[in-house]
């Protein structure tokens, strides 16, 4: 089975540009999560969806960040405008139905560098 697929793997762009990160969850998984990982703050949950509906976006750092899930097989995380402090590895993860013992399956991440 295909795992969680993220694109691009690496992104380097200049400050002020719009950045779009993409994620395809594992087929049949009802939950999708976006995380950000930095040395200073570790792994932070930004937002998660259940059946394409955003459930908790309290981790989204500011209005420059937005996430959508138009269908069960695709999600985007956008940063507009981007800033150097947004540089991090962004992970997407998915999980099957509402069960406490279900682990999250992570994609390989997108390494984002804002110059």
Partner 1 sequence: AQKITQTQPGMFVQEKEAVTLDCTYDTSDQSYGLFWYKQPSSGEMIFLIYQGSYDEQNATEGRYSLNFQKARKSANLVISASQLGDSAMYFCAMREGWASYDKVIFGPGTSLSVIP
| Residue 84 structure tokens | 């150097």
Q: How far is the CB of 31 from partner 1 (least distance, A)?
A: 7
Closer CB to partner 1, 15 or 43, in the complex: 43
Q: State how far the Cα of 31 lies from the Cα of 55, in Å rounded to an integer.
A: 10
Q: How far is the CB of 15 from partner 1 (least distance, A)?
A: 24
Q: How far is the CB of 74 from partner 1 (least distance, A)?
A: 21
In sequence order, what are the beta bridge partners of 105? 94
| Residue 47 structure tokens | 């937002």
Q: How far is the CB of 22 from partner 1 (least distance, A)?
A: 17
Closer CB to partner 1, 15 or 95, in the complex: 95
Closer CB to partner 1, 82 or 95, in the complex: 95
* DSSP label at residue 30: -
C-alpha torsion angle, residues 109, 103, 33, 70 (rounded to 10) = 100
Using CB under 8 A, list all residues that contact partner 1.
Answer: 31, 33, 42-43, 45, 48, 50, 55-56, 89, 91, 93, 98, 100-101, 103-109, 111
Closer CB to partner 1, 25 or 109, in the complex: 109
Sign of CA dihedral 80, 85, 89, 91: negative
């Amino acid at each position: 089975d295909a795992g969680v697929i993220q694109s691009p793997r690496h992104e380097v762009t200049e400050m002020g540009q719009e950045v779009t990160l993409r994620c395809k969850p594992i087929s049949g998984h009802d939950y999708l999560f976006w995380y950000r990982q930095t040395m200073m703050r570790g792994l932070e949950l930004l937002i998660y969806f259940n059946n394409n509906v955003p459930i908790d976006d309290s981790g989204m750092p500011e209005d420059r960040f937005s996430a959508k899930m138009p269908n069960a097989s695709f999600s985007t995380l956008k940063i507009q405008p981007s800033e150097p402090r947004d540089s991090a590895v962004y992970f997407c993860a998915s999980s099957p139905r509402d069960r406490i013992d279900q682990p999250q399956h992570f994609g390989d991440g997108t390494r984002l560098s804002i110059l």
